[in-house]
Structure 1
Amino acid sequence: MARSININCDMGEIQDSWDSGRDKTLLNYVDAVNVCCGEHAGNHLLIEETIKHAIKLGLQIGAHPSYPDRENFGRKVLRMPIAELKDSLREQILYIKNLVELNGGKLHHVKFHGALYNEAAVNPEVAALLADVTKEVDDSLILFGLAQSKGVTKYEELGLKVWQEVFADRAYEVSGSLRDRNLEGALIHEPQKAYEQVNMVLERSELVSYSGETLEISGDTFCIHGDAENALIIAQFMKESFSQT
């Protein structure tokens, strides 16, 4: 009997991946897609094509807003006035929401990208800002946040519906944070290892950190990074493996 699992993937970021057919194929193996809003990567045509195909497949569609910083792919903290940041994030979410509705769909969730996501996980003040922006756009939207983080707690305190997110293709520190991308072993490339990490969370609500300690963790949705080299292979392996268990 197939086991129920929600797999999400960040997408709409890399034109070559879409043109090659790789990303379009990848969408067949996920349940939810977090669509780039154009401020850390992507372009309008790519973003809209991704949305159209996701709607065609009946996927849950989310906005994936970031710091307005294409130079660093949104993965570095950008110090900017709070009001300016809020305006940018609000515009990004509305941009995706309007495109989804224009093409006959409905926006399902918001997952903040990169440095913003990681900041919110450890800093309740940042999490509150992101929650406020999301509520201003649509308070029915689900927020994806790092499982068992301070950010998730803050989102829930502020009355938002939250999905705890666990990463299939990233290593964890004993603190429960994601291992820095610049450190050895931060990325999981092997499909079997990614599957085993997710399966352990589903079966035992546990995950083994990079240094070997066992963490208590549970998840509502499991992420595969769309820009990862082995994203398609990992997604295929996971979908097929869980369909057989």
Structure 2
Amino acid sequence: MAAIDLNSDLGESYGAWSMGDDAAMLSIVSSANVACGFHAGDPAGILKTVKAAVERGVVLGAHVSYPDRVGFGRRDMDVTSGELIADVIYQIGALQGIAAAAGSKVRYVKPHGALYNRIANDAKQGQAVIDGIKAIDPTLVLMGLAGAPILDLARKSGLAVVAEAFADRAYTPQGELVSRREAGAVLHDPQEIANRMLQLAREGTLTAIDGSTIKVDAQSICVHGDSPGAVAIAAALRQRFEAEGIAVRSFVSEA
């Protein structure tokens, strides 16, 4: 692989509460999944993050979520298709307005937290997310978990997709993310993570939590912006990739 995208979840601070170091991450990543207010983020903070991303040429993505600020979007919700379609349209529209004010535009959509995990295999909610995206801008790219059925469903519905892997998460032998409730689910050592992601970029494989080797076809790698040591992890990844001749750039042609 000659190039790979690095993305991070940003714009998640709310009022007096700070989440992550957006400025530092934006100097490292090539794509920014920006909160749209449903799980995190307030208008002023989102605008600040978007402006900083535009200044650095980082591509903007809408990080859409269930309406769950208290649970940070990590609680599953049994919403109707109509509600979910409207929620997706609303969130993308909000970020599109902020992006336009900053002289840029939204290029992709990445569902957040429980919604991301739910639609990976839930065709009903997955189709609702797809329908919401298509209703507001069918040129947007859907970012989803590598190997998950949602990617095929989106392709069949006419959306472009990009598959992602998670730098700081462990995988099951089935290629799914290990639940955060399980020991060893979140990885912390920057050099260990860099070694794993170099293996992914070069060979398209990862070592699962049981030691087995699994196939993972991903064009983008996520480092969670709210994880402890997130900036150090992202920096280690970029340094390792560039040292190995792998460029870090977005999966879309321009910012």
TM-score bracket, shorter-length normalisation: over 0.9
Q: Does 2:181 match 1:182?
A: yes
Alignment partner, residue 203 of structure 2 = 204
Separation in 2, partners of 1:239, 1:214: 23
For residues 113-128 of structure 1, the aligned pairs below 5 Å read 113-128=112-127
Counterparts of 2:99 and 2:223, CA distance in 1: 22
Q: Secondary structure at the match of 2:210?
A: coil
| Deviation of the 1:84 alpha carbon | 2.1
**SS of 1:5 mapped into structure 2:** strand
User: Distance in 2 between the 1:170 and 1:121 partners?
Assistant: 16
- Which amino acid in 2 is paired with 1:189? H
Q: 2-side partners of 1:165 and 1:65: how far apart?
A: 16
Rounded to whole Å, the distance in 2 between the matches of 1:168 and 1:213 is: 17
Structure 1: runs of 5 or more not aligned: none
C-alpha distance in 2 between matches for 1:132 and 1:197: 35
2:170 paired residue number: 171
User: 1:225: which partner in 2?
Assistant: 224
For the 8 Å contact 1:7–1:223, the answer to whether it is kept is yes
Q: C-alpha offsets along residues 103-146 of structure 1, whole Å, 9 cap, x if unaligned? A: 11021100000011111111222221111111111000111010
| Residue 77 of structure 2 corresponds to residue 78 of structure 1 | yes
* SS of residue paired to 1:139: coil
Secondary structure of 1:176's aligned partner:
coil
Q: What is the identity, as a one-letter code, of the residue corresponding to 1:175?
A: Q
SS in 1 for 2:222: strand
The aligned residue for residue 25 of structure 1 is 24
What is the rounded CA distance, in whole Å, between the counterparts of 2:219 and 2:18 in structure 1?
Answer: 27
Deviation at 1:82, TM superposition (A): 2.7
How many Å separate the matches in 2 of 1:6 and 1:17? 26
CA distance in 1, matches of 2:13, 2:182: 24
Aligned letter for 2:169? Answer: R
Counterpart contact for 1:14–1:227, Cα < 8 Å: no
Cα offset, 1:158, TM superposition = 0.9
Q: How far does residue 17 in structure 1 lie from its aligned partner after superposition?
A: 4.3
SS of residue matched to 1:104: coil
Identity of aligned residues (%): 35
Alpha-carbon separation, structure 1, partners of 2:222 and 2:85: 25
Aligned residue for 1:53? 52
Aligned counterparts of 2:199 and 2:23: Cα–Cα separation in 1: 29
Q: Which runs of 5+ in 2 are unaligned?
A: 245-255
Aligned to 1:162: 161
Computed over aligned residues only, the root mean square deviation of the Cα atoms, in angstroms, reads 1.6
> How many angstroms apart in 2 are the aligned matches of 1:209 and 1:69?
31
How much has 1:43 moved relative to structure 2? Answer: 0.8
Scaled by the length of structure 1, the TM-score of the pair is 0.94
Alpha-carbon distance between aligned partners in 2 of 1:241 and 1:95, rounded to the nearest angstrom: 36
Work out the CA distance in 2 between the residues paired with 1:33 and 1:209: 27
Higher RCO (CA 8 Å, separation ≥ 6 residues): 2
